[in-house]
Structure 1
Amino acid sequence: MGWEFFLEVLIGGLLAGVMYSLVALGFVLIYKASGVFNFAQGAMVFFAALTFVSLVERGVNFWLALLVTMAAMAIFGVLVERLVLRPLVGQPPITLFMATIGLAFFLEGLTQGLWGAQVHSLELGIKDIPFMVGGIMISQFDLFAAGTAGVLVIALAIFFQKTRIGRALRAVADDHQAAQSVGIPLKHIWAIVWTVAGLVALVAGMLWGARTGVQFALTFTALKALPVLILGGFSSIPGAIVGGLLIGAGEKLAEVYIGSSLGLNIGTGIENWFPYMLALVFLLVRPEGLFGEKHIDRV
């Protein structure tokens, strides 16, 4: 195995890691605004992808189906704030977390009730065909997915850093009560954040659906994002990106090199458990993640 093969594996892992980051980004947005881990993020990815592909299969124009799905995710965000979050303002985080578990099961059932449970193929016009660059094979679809995720992340970073709503979000993330005391409408911020998280879920669902098919298994993308969040930190957008890159590269390199050194065949599943082992090490060394803030409880 020469350096060309090593770079090929590394680049493939990094490109896959960007897609992991995209899923983790939805968790980070909601956690920053409410301090709650959104267990329903995987169900949101499934709902968005299946709604979009079902509309396309029923003859709706691609771009019109995309706009309709975006509108559906925006309505979903508003309804979550109105019906779930608003009645629970001031409750302990565990209460909100349990509410997102119930929301996940409800959304999964609603999705399959509306569109069925069969597997759908999704074509975005980008073939998963590798091409050669300096003797290194790079997946065309992975490159497209990474570019799409990168543009989305940059747009979100500008939105949250440069706009008034973004500054309000950072204030809410720091202290809910203090933000409310200076006139920042908490309910509006939560609705916006859940809407943005829904749009991120749509992009993630389309990319993952084009690669693996639109099916119930998309709900488990939430589990894939957990090691990313642990490495990068639950409240950091840059952390989600770096964590995704580390997990993507780590699992691919572990599959090829650690698996071969242990006498295992490629495809034996080491890439499924290695990210969680890496996350466990980070929990022992740096529990708040690479970009997370340390919390000091004063007694």
Structure 2
Amino acid sequence: MYLLFVKPEITTPSGLPARPVLTSYYKSSNFLNRPFNKHLVYTSPNDTILCADSKQSLYCQLLCGLVQCDDVLRVGAVFASALLRAIKFLQDNWHELSSNVREGKVSEWITDASSLQAVRRILQKPDAELADRIETECRKEPWEGIIKRLWPRTKYVDVIVTGSMAQYIPLLDFYSGGLPLVSTMYASSECYFGINLEPLSKPAEVSYTLIPNMAYFEFLPVKRKTAEEETLGDERYIGSMDITAEAVDLVHVKVGTYYELVVTTFTGKPSSSSPPSFNSRSIFRSDRNSS
């Protein structure tokens, strides 16, 4: 059960549509017409993912996930915060969800026609036994291990838990009952940067190997923390960019040094010797597990 969502589009002053990269991907033929992959099966029908009403989308995806609970091997969302929002939503709505399962009917407030039809294809008949299971587990307090209790075959939680998402690790550990937290990728709206070659490593030990053909990577040196800043232990003191230093390319990064990653995407005409750049920046530390 991997929860995916689209965001509303906007139109620029020049009339061009603008939307988040994940929304673009979910609406693309690459996603909608993807070939079957037995290792990457979603419990959420495409129509529930593409539903513009975020509440209806989440409700329908959770309902489908609960109905297929015995088939679920992983639980997740792109970001840890999104998965935790889903768990909070489940806490607030499990009575209604279990009632839908018991009656074999979808709540009347679900008005998105495509989502409604998609859910009905999965919720084909009443299932009192499953509804009882859901109610029994959701009534228990606290909700520690609720992911394993509702989706008993789950092997891991698939979410990004590095960077700003690290703050959610304790809550994820609580709700998952200690399942491995797998943070697979390092990316931005511009492109994918790299992948985690050791997916079962602990969140604090995760490192990403940069994929050099995804974009052109440059690295601006970042000053180390002072002893005083280290003592304060405040994330504000990660460091400051050394504006006197020049950016270095991938082969010249030094082990153990902090850099601000600058990404230049492959945009513009292929023949252009100097394609337009679209820079994305984040703090990056070079170590032996990154390249």
Judge same fold: TM > 0.5, yes or no: no
Question: More helix per residue: 1 or 2?
Answer: 1
What is the TM-score when the length of structure 1 is the normalising length? 0.24
What is the TM-score when the length of structure 2 is the normalising length? 0.24
Question: More strand per residue: 1 or 2?
Answer: 2
Bigger Rg, structure 1 or 2: 2
